[in-house]
Amino acid sequence: LQCGERIPRPKRRASIRVGPPRSPRCVLTQAMMACPLEQALAVMVSTFHKYSGKEGDKFKLSKAELKELLSRELPAFGTKQMDEGEFRRLMNDLDHDKDSEVDFKEYACFLACVAMGYNEFFRDAQRPRKK
């Protein structure tokens, strides 16, 4: 499965609300009793909606909203670690439809790429070093 492909919808469970969240707090509260991976997905979704819509479209992140999200939620990738040119390149890479905003699909692809980077880091760290 690659970014941009349709992902099968999860089976509905009585304890988890499927669909757009009413509020980030609602999703997190419902995920308290969920499995860890379900909790992680709820945090991913609620974090997007926490920052989206402060200006403009409430279902997309503007450049300023993305900067704020990165600096507060992913400080390793935050704007303190990159200059304006690097941030512009990141925004350009994420913005597949070139509307100058990052929608949820583009955000999810970014997080998938970050997760793959973490996976490679931890996989490589577990390999014995060659002498």
* Total Cβ atoms within 10 A of residue 48: 24
Domain ranges of the chain: 24-126
- A 10 A CB-CB count for 69 gives 20
Give the residue among 83, 52, 87 at the shortest CA–CA distance from 67: 87
CATH number of 24-126: 1.10.238.10
Average pLDDT over residues 4-10: 52
Question: How large is the average pLDDT for residues 45-57?
Answer: 94
DSSP string, 42-79: HHHHHHHHHHTTSSS-TTEE-HHHHHHHHHHH-GGGST
Spatial distance between the Cα atoms of 86 and 70, rounded to a whole number of angstroms: 13
Distances in whole angstroms, Cα of residue 100 to Cα of each of 21, 30, 32, 61, 92: 24, 33, 35, 9, 8
**Average pLDDT, whole number, for the chain?**
81
pLDDT single digits (tens) 57-116: 999 999 999 999 999 999 887 667 788 899 899 999 999 999 999 999 999 999 999 999
Alpha-carbon distance of 69 to 63, in angstroms, equals 10
